[in-house]
Amino acid sequence: MAKEATSTTTASKEVSIDDLASQLATLKNDIAELTGAMTNFGKTQGRAAADQAKTTAQGLADTGRVKAAEAQETAEEFIRTQPGTALGIAAGIGFLVGLVAARR
């Protein structure tokens, strides 16, 4: 009787090759699905990062345009209020550029 119980336990613990093949196929499919999900997640995160970078760059470009316009207005106002000084500064800058260009 004890021998019969032992053989039944051993038989239930044995796994057939078909069972292993089935489990391996299931595992392979699960890994493929997980890989696909990770790929989609990576693409989504990449798109989100690209959109964020584009928005930030656009904001910086807009800020740069505003600052450039303000600098232009300040320069024009300076030229209107002090034309002689502006002319002297422009002549000095032109002279320095000429010196640097002549040395090359």
Q: Cα torsion at 21, 27, 33, 37 (round to 10°)?
A: -170
Could you read off the pLDDT of 25-34 as tens digits, one per residue? Answer: 999 999 999 9
Separation in Å, CA 12 to CA 3, 7, 19, 54: 15, 9, 13, 62
The burial class, CB within 10 Å (0-12 / 13-18 / 19+), for 79 is middle
Average pLDDT over residues 4-8: 53
Could you read off the pLDDT of 40-97 as tens digits, one per residue? Answer: 999 999 999 999 999 999 999 999 999 999 999 999 999 999 999 999 999 999 999 9
